[in-house]
């Protein structure tokens, strides 16, 4: 089946009891057994819930994976992945990683004896030299936040043949399965903050993992049930409903993204625009090869690089909302230096491009003309 059909149907059968076309919200914590241990596959809802099962099958199908597991947040999903490791193991990850992942790696898992190397994963040769006998994981995020760097997933996957056989994890939150399927490029586990594009309506926090590997699935499922960061049925229902329009939303995010990136690029008050769909973007060729389109995430800086100008713009927008998060139907604007990246020292963040006037847009699915008008009037205020 093709993507749009899977988004609407995968994992979902009419309800066996009533024929309801929509998977019911099985709001239950336990299931009645016929005799001890004899049941319909469901014993206790931390382990399994039918609404969640439908969602897990649907997400797995969209990622071309055999297995899916849903978590109560993206961080819950990432936490389960790192719990595959033991003290002494090492991970190589992107240096411009999602801030929450960076915090969990350095503040929770480093004290437990796992070592993380934050590196420029665009530099394949350098990364290849860094892989040693303790390297058990390669952790890639692409496009990266907020600089929109693109990492060559298939290129990194070649390093899996090194003697330590590291597994490759791709955080696919920014692209969504509509734009790229990392498993097809050699990833072992795909991770999502389903809070973002998968759900798409800014009303649920959820995480997801997908894999094709039987052993990894068994271990992750064990951690999932043992540690318990599993989502409830209502949230599972909402994400399942969100998925039904993922392809339509993504088409519009991309369409609007292209128009707004073009508008920003030609505006006299804008300095740089970071969007992987520009042929002059340093990773344009990789983006073209591994992504179906270029998405609706855009960052830009202002001429003069003044933080006050960036703040004035951020508080002058009327259709865009000033908020954290991304991937919803409504357009959002954020100021990474004072919001998502505030905990990183100025010198450190500026090295990766997060300067004072950098603003990040999550382009929604509103009318592009209204979004452009809104940015135009806000830019006039500075």
- Contact set with ligand PLP (CB under 6 A): 73-75, 98, 100-101, 141, 145, 171, 173-174, 193, 195-196, 205, 207
Least CB distance from residue 300 to ligand PLP, whole Å?
Answer: 19
Least CB distance from residue 64 to ligand PLP, whole Å?
Answer: 20
Nearer to ligand PLP, 49 or 101 (CB): 101
* Nearest Cα residue to 340 out of 316, 362, 318, 366: 362
Nearer to ligand PLP, 337 or 379 (CB): 337
Least CB distance from residue 219 to ligand PLP, whole Å?
Answer: 21
Beta strand pairing call for 189-193 and 167-171: parallel
Nearer to ligand PLP, 50 or 334 (CB): 334
| CB neighbour list of residue 277: distance below 8 Å, 6 or more residues apart | 257, 258, 261, 284, 287, 293, 294
Nearer to ligand PLP, 143 or 378 (CB): 143
Unique residue bearing structure tokens 């939303």: 249
Dist CA 310 CA 161 (whole Å): 46
Nearer to ligand PLP, 99 or 262 (CB): 99
| CB neighbour list of residue 299: distance below 8 Å, 6 or more residues apart | 146, 147, 148, 273, 274, 275, 336, 358, 359, 360, 361
Least CB distance from residue 107 to ligand PLP, whole Å?
Answer: 15
Nearer to ligand PLP, 171 or 235 (CB): 171
Least CB distance from residue 362 to ligand PLP, whole Å?
Answer: 10
**Which residue number has the CB closest to ligand PLP?**
74
Dist CA 182 CA 163 (whole Å): 22
Dist CA 168 CA 330 (whole Å): 32
Q: Which residues are catalytic?
A: 46, 98, 171, 196
Least CB distance from residue 19 to ligand PLP, whole Å?
Answer: 34
Q: Give the CA angle between residues 15, 200, 220 to the nearest 5°.
A: 70
């Amino acid at each position: 089946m093709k993507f749009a059909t899977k988004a609407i149907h995968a994992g979902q059968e009419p309800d066996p009891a009533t024929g309801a076309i929509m998977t019911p919200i099985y709001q239950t914590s336990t299931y009645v057994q016929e005799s001890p241990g004899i049941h319909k596959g469901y014993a206790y809802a931390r382990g399994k819930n039918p609404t969640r099962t439908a969602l897990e099958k649907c997400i797995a199908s969209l990622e071309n994976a055999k297995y899916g597991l849903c978590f109560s947040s993206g961080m819950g999903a990432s936490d389960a992945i790192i719990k595959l490791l033991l003290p002494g193991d090492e991970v190589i990850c992107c240096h411009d990683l999602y801030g929450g992942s960076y915090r969990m790696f350095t503040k929770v898992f480093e004290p437990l004896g796992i070592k993380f190397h934050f590196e420029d994963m665009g530099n394949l040769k350098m990364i290849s030299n860094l892989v040693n006998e303790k390297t058990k994981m390669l952790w890639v995020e692409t496009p990266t936040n907020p600089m929109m760097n693109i990492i060559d997933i298939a290129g990194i996957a070649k390093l899996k043949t090194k003697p330590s056989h590291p597994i490759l994890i791709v955080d696919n939150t920014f692209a969504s399965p509509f734009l790229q399927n990392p498993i097809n490029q050699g990833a072992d586990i795909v991770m999502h903050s389903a809070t973002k594009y998968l759900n798409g309506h800014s009303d649920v926090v959820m995480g997801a993992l997908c894999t094709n590997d039987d052993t990894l699935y068994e271990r992750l499922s064990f951690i999932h049930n043992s540690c318990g960061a599993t989502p409830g049925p209502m949230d599972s229902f909402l994400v399942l409903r969100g998925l039904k329009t993922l392809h339509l939303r993504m088409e519009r995010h991309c369409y609007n993204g292209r128009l707004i990136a073009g508008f920003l690029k030609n505006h006299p008050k804008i300095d740089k625009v970071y969007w992987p769909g520009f042929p002059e973007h340093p990773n344009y060729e990789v983006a073209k090869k591994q992504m179906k389109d270029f998405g609706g995430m855009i960052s830009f800086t202002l001429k003069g690089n003044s933080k006050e100008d960036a703040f004035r713009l951020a508080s002058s927008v009327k259709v865009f909302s000033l908020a954290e998060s991304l991937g919803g139907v409504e357009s959002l604007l954020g100021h990474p230096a004072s919001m998502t990246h505030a905990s990183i020292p100025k010198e450190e963040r500026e090295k990766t491009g997060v300067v004072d006037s950098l603003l990040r847009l999550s382009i929604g699915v509103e009318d592009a003309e209204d979004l452009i008008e809104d940015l135009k009037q806000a830019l006039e205020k500075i």
